[in-house]
Amino acid sequence: MFLFGFVAYFQQRTLSVAGYRMMPDLGLSQMQLGWLETAFLVGYTAMQFPGGVIGQRLGARMMFVLIGLLGFAATIATPLAPLLLTGAGLLVLLVAAQLLLGVSQAPIFPVSAGVFEAWFRPEQWPLVQGLQTMGLGLGAALTSLLISRLMLSFGWQHAVLWTALPALILVGCWAWYGRNSPTEHPAVKAAELAEQGEAPGVPPDDKLSWGRMWALMLNRDVLALTVSYVCMNYVFYLLANWCFLYLVQERHFQVLDSGNLASAPPLAAAFGAGLGGWLASRLCGRLGIRRGLRTLPLISLPAAGVLLFVAVDAANAYVAVAALSLCFAAVELNEGSYWAAIMHVGRGDTMAASGLLNTGGNLGGIIATPIVAYLSGHHAWTQAFLLGSGCAIVSAALWLSVDPLRRRVSEPATT
């Protein structure tokens, strides 16, 4: 699951780095680059809940093979498209490739949550969620370092093609070794199953009805977590997708320097995600699930808002990079708390409930991308960052209404 998260974010962030060279080579404007980012987010957001439901029905083993192959095809379509088309036709094909990439990657994290539910005890959920999110940050950090160097030496097309190949190896390994639950895996022994408790390694329920899905969508804790995640992800996508261009355009670093410095925020985010998952697990053990999962968001999200203000106001460019890195770490401290909370709320329907959470999270990206594209295109980076400060504070406030242990209302007997 760590490697699937790593590869997913490497594929996603390639465009944000290669886009600097794609724009002059293909005659794309910065707004059109924003359209490509938005196309990915539309596919990614639209398939979160359906992807979780389909994954719950098919099982994680088959689902990861299908979406892994689709993601590989969509990734290599971007560098190959200019060999076939130019002008408007090329733009349409690039948009379609990003849309397909979003569709293929949408189920990764909802389905991963179902795997974690089957393979780990509840007190470990924040930790394993934080560790997978660490994979995302490391993938994003490596993208800036690797793609910027490869495209300077060989061009952006070769850089994207070569770095797409490891995904095929991962899919093959998963198809051979992965299983939906511990009870299905031939290498898992009885003593290991006993460590899981009374219901060891139970896979997610694959018989979702419309009534249960509707009850999930209307659940007050699902709604509160989802809206909070919308706000938090404005900040996430601002930092993840636009940091490289911000450093080039506003802070006037060279491309190679920007590639190096742009890796600092996602590296800090990766560290923050792992640390946050560990802290949330420890806090749950000391304070209980409800208070333990709330504590980090109520502290770190307002801190992220302050750090965004510091970054945009800093006179020294390196201070701005440091503030952006600390901000990204503060944001990602909360991933374990969000995902563990939705797993508690959706218990038994974790993949579907997680799909709803991540639908909201990526609505934050859909909202952020055109706003930041427009403001940055008009050299109004300050306004884009200050809007993020407000979103971080609202995101924290919504956690006050979340109770992960609140009993879910059962669906009607007949559906």
Distance CA 374, CA 37 (A): 13
What's the pLDDT at 414? 37
Tens-place pLDDT, residues 44-84: 888 999 999 999 889 999 999 999 999 999 999 988 988 88
Mean pLDDT for the chain? Answer: 85
Percent of the chain that is helix, strand, coil (3-state, to 5): 80, 0, 20
Alpha carbon of residue 4 to chain centroid: 11
- Is residue 180 in some structural domain? yes
Mean pLDDT throughout 242-246?
Answer: 71
Listed range (30-34, 62-66, 293-297) with the worst mean pLDDT:
30-34
- Is residue 406 in some structural domain? no
Please give the C-alpha separations between residue 288 and each of 78, 192, 238, 284, 346, in angstroms, as whole numbers: 47, 26, 33, 5, 18
Distance CA 253, CA 155 (A): 20
- Is residue 415 in some structural domain? no
Where helices occur in 155-263 by DSSP H, the ranges are 156-164, 166-177, 190-194, 210-218, 220-249, 255-262
Residue 345: Cβ within 10 Å count: 27
pTM score = 0.80
- Is residue 408 in some structural domain? no
Distance CA 210, CA 1 (A): 29
- Confidence class for position 93, pLDDT limits 50, 70, 90: very high
Mean pLDDT throughout 165-188?
Answer: 91
Listed range (108-112, 287-291, 345-349) with the worst mean pLDDT:
345-349
Virtual torsion, Cα 184, 190, 196, 198, nearest 10 deg: 100
**Domain count of the chain?**
1
Q: Is 87 left (phi over 0), alpha (psi -120 to 50) or beta?
A: left
- Is residue 414 in some structural domain? no
Listed range (142-146, 154-158, 208-212) with the worst mean pLDDT:
208-212
- Is residue 409 in some structural domain? no
Which H/E stretch holds residue 415?
none
CATH code for the domain of 227: 1.20.1250.20
Q: Where in the sequence is the domain holding 33, given as residue range(s)?
A: 2-198+206-401
Listed range (44-58, 245-259, 338-352, 397-411) with the worst mean pLDDT:
245-259
- Is residue 314 in some structural domain? yes
Tokens, residue 86? 């130019």
- Is residue 253 in some structural domain? yes
